[in-house]
Amino acid sequence: MLHSLLRSGTFLTGLFILLFWVVCALFGQYFVPYDPLASDIINALTPPAADHWFGTDQLGRDVFSRVIVGSRDILTVAPLATILATIAGTALGLLIGYFRGIVDDIVSRVLEAFMAIPVVIIALLAIVALGTSKITVIVVIGLSFAPIIARTVRSAVLAERELDYVAAAKLRHEGALHTMFVEILPNVIPPILVETTVRLGYAIFAVATLSFMGFGIQPPSPDWGLSISSNYGMIGGGFWWTVLFDALAIASLVIGVNLVADGVHGAFND
């Protein structure tokens, strides 16, 4: 698999984009030219130039510095939410796929009803009830994506449970948990990895959307979605740079994640 990934231009391109933003998230504060939170009203709404590569926003803050450092929050919240979704969805998918019967019927119907509600609506209801915080956003997005991953895992488990190695485990009187997590789980890792990378892209969009709506990451963070929300009204005045570069950052990160997902999927299918 590793050899296939290293020969995949799609995967390597996506990985390069992803690693670029990871480096920015981890070390961006050390090499940006300005403090991303420092206001300079005298130089407010300065267009892109040599001293401010991406211009300044309505408070005079350097947009380039904010874009670089702004990657930190979204690359903390979205991956943690995706990991939570993967853990919860995998456990649930193993359970309903292995036991089938009435357990599968009841839980699957609940999951389908849950998936019929848009993620943003669920997130808004939960955040209004629980309050706005990074932990709340992580939990809400994670649990919102868990049913989708559970459905994928369930399909893979239904195919695996009929194979000889599962029958052999039952003949050895192995417990259900041992059979699910020791025997079956290692054989359904490929679809789980693909689904996880895909969900990461959706999680990034979800975090940015909630921040844009004022229910996600809160000020004074230079988060991309929050910055777009704060400066969106400036577009009409011709100050396009206050929004464009944050939007391009979100788009590039999602594209990078999707390219990685395509590369992983292709490697498993080789």
pLDDT digits (tens, 9 = 90+) for 162-178: 888 888 888 888 888 88
pLDDT value, residue 270: 62
Tell the residue number behind the tokens 């994670």, with chain if given: 142
Instruction: For residue 267, report the phi and psi dihedrals to the nearest 5 degrees.
Output: -65, -40
Q: Torsion-angle region of residue 131: left (phi > 0), alpha (psi -120 to 50) or beta?
A: left
pLDDT at 177: 87
Please count the other Cβ atoms lying within 10 Å of the Cβ belonging to residue 216. 29
CA 220-226-230 angle, to 5 degrees, is: 90
How large is the average pLDDT for residues 198-213? 89
Question: Of 256, 204, 199, which is closest to residue 71 (Cα–Cα)?
Answer: 204
pLDDT value of residue 1: 63
- Residue ranges of domains in the chain: 1-269
Burial (CB count within 10 angstroms: exposed 0-12, middle 13-18, buried 19+), residue 98: buried
Q: What angle do CA 170, 105, 190 make, to 5 degrees?
A: 60
28-85 pLDDT, tens digit per residue, is: 989 899 999 888 888 888 899 888 899 999 888 999 999 999 999 999 999 999 999 9
pLDDT value at 269 more than 80: no
Q: Which residue has the tokens 């990871």?
A: 22
* Average pLDDT of span 188-207: 91
Confidence of residue 117 (pLDDT cuts 50, 70, 90): confident
- pLDDT exceeds 90 at position 217: no
Cα(225)–Cα(75) distance, integer angstroms: 12
**What pLDDT digit, counting tens, does each position of 228-263 carry?**
988 888 888 888 999 999 999 999 999 999 999 888
Q: Is the confidence at residue 196, as pLDDT, over 80? A: yes
Angle at 218 between CA 215 and CA 219, to 5 degrees: 140
| pLDDT tens digits for range 222-232 | 889 889 988 88
* Other CB atoms within 10 Å distance of the CB of residue 217: 25
The CA distance from 139 to 4, in Å, is 34
Least confident stretch, 131-135, 166-170, 182-186: 131-135
**Alpha helix positions (H), the chain:** 2-6, 9-31, 63-69, 71-99, 101-115, 119-130, 134-160, 164-171, 176-178, 189-212, 224-231, 241-269
Average pLDDT, the chain: 87
Contact 176, 98 (CB under 8 A): yes
For residues 78 and 250, the answer to whether their CB atoms sit within 8 Å is no
Angle between helix 101-115 and 71-99 (nearest 10): 150
- Burial track 236-259 (b if 16+ CB lie within 10 A, e otherwise): eeebbbbbbbbbebbeebbebbbb
The predicted-structure confidence for 136-156, as pLDDT tens digits, reads as follows 889 989 988 999 999 999 999
- The CATH H-level (homologous superfamily) assignment of domain 1-269 is MetI-like (1.10.3720.10)
Give the torsion through C-alpha atoms of 70, 73, 75, 81, to 10 deg.
Answer: -150
